[in-house]
Structure 1
Amino acid sequence: MKIIRVRAVHTAVSVFAFILLITAQISSAQSLKDVTDENCIQGDCIDGRGKLELSTPFGKGQYFGDFRDGEFHGRGRLEIPISFVEKAIYDGNWNKGIRSGRGTYWNGTGSLYIGQWRDDERNGQGTYFHNLPRWGENEHSEFWMKENTENYSGEFVDDNYQGKGIYRWADGRKYDGSFFANNKHGSGTFYFVTGVARTQVWNYGDFVRWD
């Protein structure tokens, strides 16, 4: 999500293109674009802390947080309308206009990620929730959501499930094992709703055998 460099926000409102493209296979591809105007309405939006108002065809969005050299840098929260009723939210750390460090991203259409980012991609430890009917901040703890919704929790590499992780289903089933490029790969343990556990072996997403 390479964002923007704010230029001369203390004078006339400038026009720019804002594009957020989520290409990860683990979520529905979502393109957020057509931010047409920006206006610094509070604080310092060049080098400091401020609030930047963002105009879109669906209404007003905003970024509130730290800036350096006109870019989002430090801690900040970005909210962008994706329809007349829904908005995407990223709340976390930024580095020169891109997501880097720990952050929470809600795409506005049922997908939520909480965890580490690097170079604007999910990298490191995190949890990806999907098929959520809605998301209310502070409504449920991350622990509760892990145990009661469908999600993947574990290692990410370049937006992919990769490394050790646990995939959970809302009915109580779960798979604890290795992943590669969003696929089960190697050995892992499948837990049935009854609590019975069996070892499985996978090869790049293809089931090999029960052990």
Structure 2
Amino acid sequence: MKYANGNEYTGEWVADKMAGQGIYTWQDGRKYEGEFKDGSFAGQGVYTWPDGRHYVGGFQNDRFSGHGVYTWSDGRRYEGGFQDDKFVGQGVYIWPDGQRYEGEFINDERSGKGIISWSDGRRYEMMRSESRGDCSYNVDLCNRTRVIK
């Protein structure tokens, strides 16, 4: 079905709503391919942008939800939990240069316990407290602990 605004849906329908498997394409080049329920993205799917970004994973009510992988066009990547389009729970954020953070996220931010590591072997173990804004970390290379406020 082609809409007046240029967007298009191809797929299954139930009770005049998008349901089951389908593809929704926006006139600006964005595309969702996957499962629909009651007219919304629900279940597993792939969302792509014209600039090369893409998300593969779970959806609920048109939002990233559950486990997924979000990849930016510059090579950055996040794999882990999502809720309402935000990083939550356990996840891994990887930069193109090999640096990575593996740990806890709340609302797209590193929070709680995590490990930052580099391809040259450096590694920081950290604990971040959102309520106080503090961050403590252990540096494997110099064997000391610091608290940053």
Higher strand fraction: Structure 1 or Structure 2? 2
Which of 201, 205, 209 aligns to 2:146? It is 201
RMSD: 2.0
Task: In structure 1, give the amino acid aligned to 2:88.
Answer: N
- Report the Cα offset of residue 81 of structure 1: 0.7
| TM-score, length of structure 1 as denominator length | 0.62
Cα distance change of structure 1 residues 14 and 104 upon mapping to structure 2, 3 Å threshold: farther
Aligned position for 1:146: none
Counterpart residue number, 2:117? 168
Instruction: Give percent identity, aligned residues only.
Output: 28
2:105 is the counterpart of 1:156 = yes
TM-score normalised according to structure 2 size: 0.86
1:112 aligned residue (68, 72, 77): 77
Q: 1:184 Cα shift?
A: 6.5
Which 4+ stretches in 1 moved above 6 angstroms? none
CA contact (8 A) 2:11 2:18 kept: no
Task: Choose which of 5, 13, 29 in structure 1 pairs with 2:3.
Answer: 13
CA distance in 2, matches of 1:184, 1:70: 43
Aligned CA distance change for structure 1 residues 88 and 129 (closer, same or farther; 3 Å): same
Structure having greater relative contact order (Cα 8 Å, sep ≥ 6): 1
Q: Determine the structure 2 residue equivalent to 1:100.
A: 65
The equivalences for 1:6-155 within 5 A come to 10=1, 12-15=2-5, 37-44=6-13, 46-56=18-28, 60-82=29-51, 87-130=52-95, 132=96, 149-155=98-104
**How many residues were matched structurally?**
144
C-alpha separation between the residues in 1 aligned to 2:74 and 2:64? 20
Residue identity opposite 1:174 in structure 2: R
3-state DSSP class of the match of 2:119? Answer: coil
- Gap runs ≥5 in structure 1: 1-9, 16-36, 134-148, 205-211
Question: Whole-Å Cα distance in 2 between the matches of residues 42 and 119 of structure 1?
Answer: 25
Tell me the amino acid that sits aligned with residue 122 of structure 1. Answer: F
Q: Which runs of 5+ in 2 are unaligned?
A: none
